[in-house]
Amino acid sequence: MNLFASFHNEQGRKFLDQGVLEKAEAAFRKSLDLSPNSSATWYNLGLVYKKQRKWNVCLECNQRATQLNPRDEAALWNLGIAATALSQWNLARHAWKKCGVEIPDGDGELTMDLGPVPIRLNPDDSGEVIWCSRIDPARAIIRGVPLPSSCHRFGDVLLHDGALNGFRIINGNKIPVFDELELLEPSKFSTFQVAVTADSLDDIHALIELAFQQNMGAEDWSTIRPLCKECSEGTPHEHPEDQFQPQAERRIGIAAMSEMELDEILESWLISHPTARLISVNCVLKSWNDRVGE
């Protein structure tokens, strides 16, 4: 890379770090005009388009970067992300294999079981972290019940980044947090807030377990606490535990496809836990299908 091409590339990196994407794109384009075979600059330009969710040109840039430098794992990974966003499954499979990921044989869409993974929703906004099931190196399905302010639902299929941004602990193991890039497939579930009282935390856990048994999502929103920045983007440290207060109102987030489905599990729970009390039920986020039909 000649001196002027290097200058424009560095200018582009500065603009990229500042989030000034149009100026970053222009600087990288100037650099490539002078040094069209720079794999690093093609990768950097691909980062601009990744941040803009322009997946076609992101894919093209990372393809060019990997043609020039077949060992560029970062470009290969972003190639896999862009190919996944565009449902170009065979190209995604090729990219993941080049990164050393064990991919099942075959063609077409990947369906893997890569275990639980925490994903940060809307990372440029509220940044709620929710547990998901990772189904390939760049996709995960939401398995918790996000707060309605996130505009996400139990069962949404997400495209996520490959760069870790913090950790969460599960069974004593540190699990990397990844940032959401895009909602790929909206779920059919609506989100309900159910206010209840109960004599014990076991009663609350029974309601949540009953929802899980019916392939619904449930989460005790009363226990949610905002994390400090150190915790959110690092490894959470100790904070005071939630203390259960008998007969104190608890807010439970439940994902259901209909009010009738929700009514059935609430009725079953109240029958088996006669000291529990239902205070209110509200749909706080309709399913995408219901919203489209409005």
Contact 92, 112 (CB under 8 A): no
In this prediction, residue 203 carries a pLDDT of 95
What lies within 8 Å, CB to CB, of 118 at 6+ separation is 129, 130, 131, 132, 168, 175, 176, 177, 178
* Residue 90 or residue 2, greater confidence: 90
What distance in Å separates the CA atoms of residue 184 and residue 48, rounded to the nearest whole number?
20
Is 137 found in the same domain as 94? no
In the prediction, which pLDDT does 262 show? 97
User: Given 140, 168, 185, which residue is the final one in a domain?
Assistant: 185
CATH number, domain with residue 232: 3.30.70.120
In this structure, are 154 and 219 located in the same domain? no
Backbone angles phi, psi at 61, to 5 degrees: -65, -45
Domain boundary among 185, 202, 237: 185
Q: What is the pLDDT of residue 228?
A: 47
Which CATH number fits the domain that encloses residue 55? 1.25.40.10
Residue 105 forms part of a structural domain: no
Give me the number of domains the chain comprises.
Answer: 3
Whether residue 231 sits in one domain with residue 206:
yes
79 and 8, same structural domain? Answer: yes
104 within a domain of the structure (yes/no): no
- Say whether both 251 and 233 belong to one domain: yes
In a domain, 106, yes or no: no
Residue 234 has pLDDT above 60, yes or no: no
pLDDT of residue 238: 47
The predicted pLDDT at position 125 comes to 84
DSSP state of 246: T
Average pLDDT, stretch 129-149? 96
Q: Which two tokens stand for residue 284?
A: 């706080």
Task: Judge whether 21 lies within some domain.
Answer: yes
Where is the domain boundary, 160, 185, 210? 185
Same domain, 51 and 87: yes
Is residue 103 domain-resident?
A: no
Digit-coded pLDDT (tens) for 147-183: 999 999 999 999 999 999 988 888 888 899 999 999 9
User: Residue 71: inside a domain, yes or no?
Assistant: yes
Which residues does 179 contact at the CB level (< 8 Å), separation at least 6?
119, 120, 123, 160, 161, 163, 165
How far apart (Å, rounded) are the C-alpha atoms in residues 231 and 248? 28
Q: Which domain holds residue 67?
A: 3-98
Classify residue 252: in a domain, yes or no.
Answer: yes
Q: What is the pLDDT of residues 17-38, one digit of tens each?
A: 999 999 999 999 999 999 999 9
Judgement on whether residues 198 and 282 belong to the same structural domain of the protein: yes
Residues 126 and 176 in one domain: yes
Q: Is residue 31 part of a domain?
A: yes
